[in-house]
Structure 1
Amino acid sequence: MPATKTISAHHYNIAQLRVESWNNLKSESTKLENSNRGTADEKKHKDNLRKSLQEIQGVESYFAYPGLGRVNALKEMLDRQEHTALTNKIAEITKYLVSDRYRSSPDHEDEDFGIEAGEKGEIADGNKRNYFEVLFLEDISPKEEVKLRNDLRDLRTAGDQFSYGVVVQRCFQDAMIALLFNPNIQAVVVRYAPPYHSKKITLLIKPFIQNVLKLDLSKVPQAELGPLFGTLIRKFRPELDTYYVTDTSLGNLKDNTLKSFRRIFYRAEDLQELHLTILRGISERYETPFFSALKEYSKKPTGIFHAMPISRGNSVFKSRWINDFGNFYGRNMFLAETSSTTGGLDSLLQPKGSLKKAQERASDAYGSRNTFFVTNGTSTANKIVVQALVRPGDVILIDRDCHKSHHYGLVLSGAYPVYLDSYPIEKYSMYGAVPLEQIKEKLLRLKKAGRLELVKMLLLTNCTFDGLVYNVEKVMEEILAIKPDMIFLWDEAWFAFAGFTYNYKQRTGMYVAQKLYGKYKSNSYREQYANHLKELKDGELPRMPNPDEVRIRVYSTQSTHKTLSSFRQGSMIHIWDEDFRRKTENTFMEAYMTHTSTSPNYQMLASLDVGRRQVQFEGYELVEKSIELAMVLRAKINDHPRLNKYFDVLTVSDFIPGEYRESGLTEYYSPAEGWNRMETAWEKDEFVLDPTKITLHIGRTGVDGDTFKNKYLMDKFNIQINKTSRNTVLFMTNIGTTRGSVTYLTNALLKIADELDQEFKPLSQKENKIRQDRIHSLTKDYPPLPDFSYFHESFQAVPGVPGGNIREAFFLAYNEENYEYIPLGECLPSMEEGRTLVASAFIIPYPPGFPVLVPGQVVSEEIIHFLTALDVSEIHGYRPDLGLRIFREKVLNRQKTVTSMGAMGGAGKKKLTN
């Protein structure tokens, strides 16, 4: 295997490779400096350094800093044998690169450190000058490139709020690679028609550019490549400002070209206009309407004659007893605390000013048609959407192991749930995701029963707590082929970050909604659909949506605070619904007002506004880094003999059965092979695993997940995690994860491994037998996971047809005479005697945090066995002292009669087994 391929195989992404390459350069230059002149040792280090510089040159050509110029300067210093100066310069560049100081006003003010000569590191008000880079795509000579850089440098002033470097790429492929490699790029200028093929693709960078290499655009006319590049930017990096420089007259410019670019310039126009437009575009994205208004409001001297004594901090800082509270949070928190909706502020329930602008900017950032801020979490966001879209008696297809807020939302709305079961992962006591075939099977059964018209929504969790991600496009296309007006609610509580890097983005609700809308409106799709109909056999149902009937109606609820920057409970509802204005806007606003406080937390709203700014400027980089750190942690545990003695990082094949993995990908990393690329899997497989959700199997420790979390992680190391199972613990990386925190976790796991060694050494033979039995229980004996049983016929919407009246069962239990408690140990004997037990309450073990029983559901033997084997201390809705709360038999008989009478109108419909 070539050396360069080996280097690439052991780095997940180009950022990791780049930093380690510069650290290696630093190490090698130090060795060269310390070697004796004229010796074989000096020659070896010089050859190694020259080879390393040649390799890093192929990477740095896509960055303005350090960039090709500095690498060439280093090579010249090596040729001149200036070993000490070379070592110092490499160390200096590495320090600035690794620390990111070059992007935030370094102390140095020369052109070697990202700020051009003569510029100041601070602007007039003392704030730091943010640095970014501009990509120019144009086939120009080196001399012309130097002139372009100098001309742009001359236009900059000390008062500019931002500073930028220039990256020039001379062909289409290299510009695409720069977009993927360089997160500093915030603006792109396409000048004239570039050639297509790159001459810089080496074995070193090839593994990291699969999304570029799979593009087959070499036959596209060169004149069309510039406008096409603008279109692809919207696909891969839509947050960037794009500009086009051309000589084509306005009358000859295509509509797609006009839509793809923020502004189009002509060659004869002044370069200063382009420079000012670039800065203006950055400034507009940097603006945070509500946060800025809140800051301005806090500076105003005001008289407080309304509610909230805490406003301005008056009731806090004057107090002798709670002024420590004020000192802890700081004065600005209280200066910004108000119930005012004027003075630059706004009303969340009827926004017209700064909040309206903030939500519009969020909509642009997240790719929705409408975005609404939610200040009491995604639990409330879920209830808002369900209440807005479904009426009592409507049918919802819903994954049974979704968040409990959805189940309670069904009670509020009166919709009939048709529960979908995820495939079980019994070895680790968790569930996967719902196979598409099961969704289609339930939908076709409802169609056969004549109830397809009542089906309003498909509700799925994407991604799941454990990191299972659906193929959103495939699900929507195949479901819309059966029911073209289906509404999709994707619960993306743990997936808010996914819209800011391409692999993840293509499995999000908003991205797919926009993609399918364009696809179904195209003439090419109409031709495909017509050909598809001709190929169908007699009686075969179409597998493609009818373009004349299909409607794109997609809603995503996201816990911004879970994976992006926001105060706790800060969430968003994103909407891509082509019928929103016509069918849903009024009911949505009623539901929004029903569940939204009239006294929303302004700090939370400001954090949502600022979080939007962050993802538009650095979301791509931060998300990629969080994935990189997750991969680094996975590799470290897999590679380290002291860690893999007790711990296993579960990977793709552990979570996803082979029939759902078309790509054949089984793992992201192995010590022998290095990294496997995940692009193909994320494009094609029915389910994929989000690598930032790191599930650690701890069965070989002999310690269950809950004990491991509390006794070892929390009590000893203050490491917080959200989820455990019988034999696993779940770690997550996010945009706030640092290399230091990953190192700390690794160190903690090493210490835990050492402690386990010490605990096991002095065990007697009998004690060791007990320990081996615990390990066997956690690694070999696992309780089967129960599927959803069925609704009792008293609570079926239509007897024998999927769909249950959960609302009626829920409120029937408000009368204490309608239910009784049966101890868990007496349930199976009662069932063996012929009694049917029907739950009157939600039973929700935590973890995993979803119902194993819902009101109106028949209790099965499997469910009793599961509850008996559970070793968690928290089960919502269950009273250990009393037992399961179930309906009395006389209530079921009475309810059965009522249900039968209510269903008489549908007596002619065929019954289906449940």
Structure 2
Amino acid sequence: MRLCRYLCRLRDKRSCSQSRILRPHNWNRSELLFVSSIGLLGTNLESYCEAAERSPHPRCGITALVRTHEGTPSMAALPYVEVLIVGTHSAVEQKALRRRLERKRRVDNDFVIHTVFVRSFEDTLNELRVNANLQAVVIRNGFPLRSQDCRLATSHWGLEGLDAEIEAVPESERGPMLGSLIAQLRPELDRYLVTHDNVEEIAAHTGKTFKRIFFREEDCDELYPSIMRGVAQRYDTPFFFAVRDHAKLPVSNFHALPVSRGKSIRNLNWIGDFGEFYGRDLFSAETSATSGGLDSLLEPVGPLKRAQENAARAFGAKRSFFVTNGTSTTNKIVVQALASPGDVVLIDRNCHKSHHYGLALAGARVEYLDPYPLNDYSIYGGVPLRELKRTLLAYKRAGTLDRVRVLLLTNSTFDGIVYKPEHVMMECLAIAPHLTFLWDEAWFAFAYSHPTYRQRAAMKSAAKLSAMLEDSDYAARYDAFSAEVNVEAWKDDERILNTRLLADPSKARVRVYATQSTHKTLTALRQGSMIHIWDQEFNEKTEEAFNEAYMTHTSTSPSYPILTSLDVARRQVEMEGYRLVKRKLELAMRLREQLSRNPLLKKHFRVLGVDDLVPREYVESNAESCFDENAGWSNFETAWRTDEFALDPTHVTLDISATGISGDTFKHKLMDEHEIQINKTSRNTVLFIVNIGNTRSDVAHLIEVLVKIARETDDKLRDLSTIERGIHDKRVRSLTQEQPPLPNLSAFHPAFRAMNSALGTRDGDIRSAFSLSLDNANCEYLPLTEVEGAIAGGRELVSASLVTPYPPGSPILVWGQLISPAILQYLRALDVREIHGYQPERGLRVFRKKTLTRVLDAQKSSPEHGGGA
């Protein structure tokens, strides 16, 4: 009992921080050592003290708190939950309310709940911003707008443009408005309203905003269990729990997978180290069973179905699907589902190679779109909205707009350049209201967890666009727009390109798909990916095709560990995603700050900022940096709200040209000599992506290594001879001033080109080219020296391969594309070791002249064919 009293004294000494968690703010050394030794640092001390006082064995009270007994989780094992209560409560009322809730706590509860009180609308927004431990909000109606704390700054995090509107609303009616705003900013939080007003009418108008609405005059006996149930629903991972329970069964396996239960490993002679390395539980979870509490990925009806429904809720989709063989496969599934032979797909020519294979398999005709180039760093940006509109207008003029079915863009790019999907989709639907959108969000799975990122996530943009098109106020806006931009105005392409277009709400349908590499930016095993769908016509037009594509590309033996990791990744997103993304932003800014301020690092490295990676014409905010000591994150929030392209600050691109070391060499130096892993490089840059698993120690290690490399470079330069100095300077000059320009898509050869290319459209039949390339008799290899001579001699060389430097995995040549001198120059300058589709010892694979002649002759005899073999 003395230990319990000692803990209680520590509790009373704690700082009055908002989080009410035990932290070493003002303790002496003995207190700190004691708490650390029993594992209580950073935990809810009040719960431990109460449980210790209830313990029947005083000497064992503390030990009982820390250990977990078989079948009964101890207090130390319980997740900690904070509930925000909004209202003008006095200290006495707060204490009484806290006690009322605590009296309802049961010994078998799965969570420990603690209450946090705020008094105003502004206090609430600030708490939502800074407190990442919150899991629920209880709004008790009647509170002021402004905080009594004059130092409080809510930045632009919810109040912009709303001040006057909120001021006009009576205090008693601000609860529903606050609830709606919380649903936008932190949708993962459960929301409850306690009011003395007409609860029936409020429920009829704001039912989706709140999980439950309580009448204040009643005792609210169900508030506490409602909070507990809401947290439990998000905590639930049905497929993970099902696999974990299945692994405990004494199963005798007379089917596939000898490795199941680890029986082909244990007690045998030669692969015991394999079992020891991965552990017993992994093999216990390996099974091919779909019964006994488990489920089938191809026909889910039980825990997998519920897990995917939970994922749709967490990521803001109407439907979500798990995929166990990577986003390369999710891309092929969606492309095959949306595109039929002859359909035209508009696609960023810098997209991942999997899209090109998917389009070839689907038989779609492809119109490649050129993103803006960053030639100084050999990096592609995004495709400007003006280019998207120009392309759609060209098809409209050609009378073939109805053939354009899908727009496919990468959001975000490898280097963190992010579109504004809502803006893109609105204006494209104004020209082509039937268009479907596929957003490759391989590097953006985390975005829905943070309000600033979320506004540029495909699913959030789709939901917002859907609501907008159904709103009566928007209909009035559109009527005014269509009166100004009339039939005559649509004949003037330049005017349309310069006008912010609105989609016709009577014609436009929101059809949006997103593919995400969950394993890249969230906590999932490698190859764990998801498809998220917001398609208003899915049931009517796409469901059957999607199911067939899913069956085509999905293994009948999916990995259960990967599937359970997707289920758990979803739980983490809903329970602590905001905290993790907020933390990785802070880590990224620490890294950027050191790289930009340290004199030695600045001498050899330069962090590329918004002004380097996004041309000024796409930056309406004029923000040059994401974080400022005076303005905080306001630049970041403003840029992401307004600019055509925004930069994700957690993608840190470093210009290393001053070292004289190429990007690929630098990457291998980091790993081979310093155990730092990166992936993407260009000739003179390396990319560091700060993820939710990084720590401050990781950042410190990276900075330490870069300082070491900078010192090594200084020492090396100091000892160079005159000749060696000249060689070094030439190398630096090559990396800084002699960068080959990034090549645009040249063109498809006439054998694969669209018949209406003279009218401004450039789509090509890559499936025909791909099919021809499978027959070696149609192709030949030419060394680069012969390629250069052949082009100079007037021969049209046509690629018979998808030539893809890896990383980043974006092709520079596709099947049927003419090889231009610019592409050849760029290929020569590449320094990556892995180029798919190109064998240096053999050269480029191209179509023979007679093959192309045969295809062209076939077209002449069958003009309605429109190109192809």
TM-score (normalizing by structure 1): 0.86
* Contact 2:125–2:158, Cα closer than 8 Å, also in 1: no
Aligned with 2:73 (options 115, 119, 125): 125
1:184 lines up with 2:141 in the alignment:
no
- d(CA) in 2 for partners of 1:639 and 1:302? 60
Q: What secondary structure, in the 3-state scheme, does the structure 1 residue paired with 2:603 have?
A: coil
Aligned with 1:452 (options 386, 401, 404): 401
Q: What secondary structure, in the 3-state scheme, does the structure 2 residue paired with 1:840 have?
A: coil
1:414 lines up with 2:354 in the alignment:
no
1:359 lines up with 2:317 in the alignment:
no
1:632: Cα distance to partner?
Answer: 0.6
Q: What are the superposed Cα offsets for residues 262-305 of structure 1, whole Å, 9 maximum, x if unpaired?
A: 11111233344211111111112111100101111111111111
What 5-or-longer segments of structure 1 have no aligned partner? 1-52, 75-85, 908-914
- d(CA) in 2 for partners of 1:245 and 1:121? 36
* Contact 1:388–1:584, Cα closer than 8 Å, also in 2: yes
Corresponding position of 2:715: 758
- d(CA) in 1 for partners of 2:34 and 2:791? 70
Query: Structure 2 vs 1, CA of residues 268 and 675 (structure 1 numbering), >3 Å: closer, same or farther?
Result: closer
Corresponding position of 1:491: 440
1:485: Cα distance to partner?
Answer: 1.7
- d(CA) in 2 for partners of 1:653 and 1:757? 28
Corresponding position of 1:12: none
* Contact 1:107–1:121, Cα closer than 8 Å, also in 2: no
- d(CA) in 1 for partners of 2:46 and 2:587? 26
* Contact 1:478–1:544, Cα closer than 8 Å, also in 2: yes
- 2:826 aligned partner, one-letter code: F
- d(CA) in 2 for partners of 1:361 and 1:809? 42
1:616: Cα distance to partner?
Answer: 0.5
Q: What are the superposed Cα offsets for residues 188-224 of structure 1, whole Å, 9 maximum, x if unpaired?
A: 111123221222241xx52755444554332233333
1:701 lines up with 2:650 in the alignment:
no
Query: Structure 2 vs 1, CA of residues 571 and 905 (structure 1 numbering), >3 Å: closer, same or farther?
Result: closer
Aligned with 1:544 (options 492, 502, 507): 502
- d(CA) in 2 for partners of 1:588 and 1:108? 52
- d(CA) in 2 for partners of 1:571 and 1:686? 27
Q: What secondary structure, in the 3-state scheme, does the structure 2 residue paired with 1:607 have?
A: helix
- d(CA) in 1 for partners of 2:865 and 2:551? 36
1:151: Cα distance to partner?
Answer: 2.3
Corresponding position of 1:898: 858
Q: What are the superposed Cα offsets for residues 308-329 of structure 1, whole Å, 9 maximum, x if unpaired?
A: 1111111111311111111111
- 2:436 aligned partner, one-letter code: I
Alignment of 1:96-115 (within 5 A): 101-103=41-43, 109=49
Corresponding position of 1:163: 112
* Contact 1:791–1:857, Cα closer than 8 Å, also in 2: yes
- 1:788 aligned partner, one-letter code: L
Corresponding position of 2:732: 775
Aligned with 1:831 (options 770, 788, 791): 791
Corresponding position of 2:532: 574
* Contact 2:376–2:739, Cα closer than 8 Å, also in 1: yes
Corresponding position of 2:153: 206
1:331 lines up with 2:280 in the alignment:
yes
- d(CA) in 2 for partners of 1:672 and 1:247? 42
Corresponding position of 2:292: 343
1:254: Cα distance to partner?
Answer: 5.3
Q: What are the superposed Cα offsets for residues 449-486 of structure 1, whole Å, 9 maximum, x if unpaired?
A: 11111111000000000110001111011001011121
- d(CA) in 2 for partners of 1:138 and 1:253? 18
- d(CA) in 2 for partners of 1:557 and 1:808? 27
Q: What secondary structure, in the 3-state scheme, does the structure 2 residue paired with 1:741 have?
A: helix
* Contact 1:64–1:133, Cα closer than 8 Å, also in 2: no
1:92: Cα distance to partner?
Answer: 6.1
* Contact 1:843–1:876, Cα closer than 8 Å, also in 2: yes
Alignment of 1:168-317 (within 5 A): 168-202=117-151, 205-206=152-153, 210-213=157-160, 215-216=162-163, 217-253=166-202, 255-317=204-266
- d(CA) in 2 for partners of 1:416 and 1:370? 28
- 1:887 aligned partner, one-letter code: F
* Contact 1:667–1:676, Cα closer than 8 Å, also in 2: no
- d(CA) in 2 for partners of 1:591 and 1:764? 63
1:173: Cα distance to partner?
Answer: 1.5
Q: What secondary structure, in the 3-state scheme, does the structure 2 residue paired with 1:270 have?
A: coil
- 1:777 aligned partner, one-letter code: S
Q: What are the superposed Cα offsets for residues 795-851 of structure 1, whole Å, 9 maximum, x if unpaired?
A: 013242321000001111122221222221222322222211111111112234211
1:644: Cα distance to partner?
Answer: 1.1
Q: What secondary structure, in the 3-state scheme, does the structure 2 residue paired with 1:886 have?
A: strand
Aligned with 2:766 (options 794, 806, 823): 806
* Contact 2:193–2:212, Cα closer than 8 Å, also in 1: yes
1:612 lines up with 2:559 in the alignment:
no
Alignment of 1:73-112 (within 5 A): 88=28, 101-103=41-43, 109=49
* Contact 2:21–2:45, Cα closer than 8 Å, also in 1: no
- 1:789 aligned partner, one-letter code: S
1:866: Cα distance to partner?
Answer: 1.1
- d(CA) in 1 for partners of 2:314 and 2:629? 38
- 2:813 aligned partner, one-letter code: L
- d(CA) in 1 for partners of 2:353 and 2:766? 13
Q: What secondary structure, in the 3-state scheme, does the structure 2 residue paired with 1:397 have?
A: strand
Corresponding position of 1:911: none
Aligned with 2:604 (options 646, 649, 655): 646
Q: What secondary structure, in the 3-state scheme, does the structure 2 residue paired with 1:678 have?
A: helix
Corresponding position of 1:28: none
Corresponding position of 2:10: none
Corresponding position of 1:426: 375
- d(CA) in 2 for partners of 1:225 and 1:207? 18
Stretch moving more, 618-627 or 830-839: 830-839
1:399 lines up with 2:348 in the alignment:
yes
1:869: Cα distance to partner?
Answer: 2.0
Q: What are the superposed Cα offsets for residues 163-184 of structure 1, whole Å, 9 maximum, x if unpaired?
A: 1221111111211211111111
Alignment of 1:596-611 (within 5 A): 596-611=554-569
1:87: Cα distance to partner?
Answer: 5.9
Corresponding position of 1:558: 516
* Contact 1:63–1:178, Cα closer than 8 Å, also in 2: no
Alignment of 1:440-519 (within 5 A): 440-519=389-468
- d(CA) in 2 for partners of 1:685 and 1:747? 35
- 2:645 aligned partner, one-letter code: F
Alignment of 1:828-867 (within 5 A): 828-867=788-827
- d(CA) in 2 for partners of 1:280 and 1:316? 42
1:718 lines up with 2:675 in the alignment:
yes
- d(CA) in 2 for partners of 1:438 and 1:94? 64
Q: What are the superposed Cα offsets for residues 219-260 of structure 1, whole Å, 9 maximum, x if unpaired?
A: 233333101111112111111111111233344225342221
* Contact 1:705–1:726, Cα closer than 8 Å, also in 2: yes
Stretch moving more, 148-157 or 595-604: 148-157
Corresponding position of 1:38: none
- d(CA) in 2 for partners of 1:675 and 1:253? 35
Q: What secondary structure, in the 3-state scheme, does the structure 2 residue paired with 1:101 have?
A: coil
Q: What secondary structure, in the 3-state scheme, does the structure 2 residue paired with 1:852 have?
A: coil
Stretch moving more, 837-846 or 350-359: 837-846
Q: Percent identity?
A: 48
Stretch moving more, 810-819 or 549-558: 810-819
- d(CA) in 2 for partners of 1:451 and 1:136? 57
1:102: Cα distance to partner?
Answer: 3.0
Q: What secondary structure, in the 3-state scheme, does the structure 2 residue paired with 1:496 have?
A: coil
1:645: Cα distance to partner?
Answer: 1.3
1:670: Cα distance to partner?
Answer: 7.0
1:793 lines up with 2:750 in the alignment:
yes
- d(CA) in 2 for partners of 1:672 and 1:901? 71
- 1:753 aligned partner, one-letter code: A
Alignment of 1:815-826 (within 5 A): 815-826=775-786
Query: Structure 2 vs 1, CA of residues 95 and 877 (structure 1 numbering), >3 Å: closer, same or farther?
Result: farther
Corresponding position of 1:692: 650
- d(CA) in 2 for partners of 1:172 and 1:733? 33
Query: Structure 2 vs 1, CA of residues 673 and 196 (structure 1 numbering), >3 Å: closer, same or farther?
Result: closer
- d(CA) in 1 for partners of 2:648 and 2:578? 16
1:343: Cα distance to partner?
Answer: 0.5
* Contact 1:135–1:169, Cα closer than 8 Å, also in 2: yes
1:627 lines up with 2:585 in the alignment:
yes
